[in-house]
Amino acid sequence: MKFGIYTNPQKDKKYAATKKVLAALNEAGCDVYYDALTARGLGLAAFRDAKECDVLFVLGGDGTILQAAHKYVRCDIALVGINFGRLGFMSEIDIDGIVPFIRTVLAGKYRIDERTMLKTRVPRVDEPVLALNDFIITKQSRSKMIRLDLYVNGSHAEHYIGDGLIVSTPTGSTAYSMSAGGPIISPDIACMLITPICPHSMHARSIVANCTDEITVMCVDTAGKVGISADGRKEMPFMKGDAITITTADIKTKFLRVEADNFYSHLKRKLAQWNRTDN
């Protein structure tokens, strides 16, 4: 099995944790591959490219995992998140667990967890855009509201007045959507979640749509600039009259897990951590 390393240098500034992972892999006799930025940070002039590995260790928080997912999603690589962030909903282990984790994986005691992604085409953007967590349409002016129309399979479902709208996967239900009051959805449920951001309406609530549905969002009116982002990445302009149609992508992000079914215990632990005041 070929293992790769992808490090967020802002989280592991001196690459101490990265070197700990590397030492554990070398001790286990594993072939090691590197993301280019990680290789430079370790001072490696020559290295084997991470796009050729089977399993990629991602050192950082959920944001780093999202970056790695976008970069390597078409390389058929399983990700393992090593948490350096505050919560790490998508992370599998902490750095102290790396040695027993590698032993467990090499013993074949693991499973592959495939996570749904969404896709859309954004006006004035040439390539299709993917999201593992969510697409977020939001205003850039605090004092102005925007008007959005929501269509499901061509049928008008809702008219929103407020700060914006989130269309997320079940994986993304524990991200911005949860902060906006949306429900938590198990990642093995095939659906899409639509959550308004600060709606100027008492009846506007989250909507759970089938994974086979087509979700269309149209910008009806805006008094200021509006943008759309995928997984918190670069914001793209979303102007009056623009529309996007969001569907389930034909590709999934893969995670390597060593526990049989840890979503609810993992969720309980992370939510308890969220309530701590020392984070």
The sign of the torsion formed by the CA atoms of 53, 59, 62, 64 equals: negative
> How far apart, in whole angstroms, are the C-alpha atoms of residue 4 and residue 59?
11
In this structure, the number of other CB atoms found within 10 A of the CB of residue 167 comes to: 25
What tokens does 131 get? 């999201």
Q: Which residues of 209-245 are buried (b: 16+ CB within 10 A; e: fewer)?
A: beeebebbbbbeebeeebbbbbbbeebbebeeebebe
At residue 55, φ and ψ (nearest 5 deg) are -130, 130
Identify the CA nearest to 8 among candidates 115, 111, 103, 91.
91
- Residue ranges of E strands in 35-126: 55-60, 78-83, 111-120
DSSP 8-state assignment for residue 23 = H
Q: Is 215 helix (H, G, I), strand (E, B) or coil?
A: strand
Q: Which helix (H) or strand (E) holds 67?
A: helix 62-72
Separation between Cα atoms, residue 150 and residue 114, nearest integer Å: 28
Q: Active-site residue numbers?
A: 62
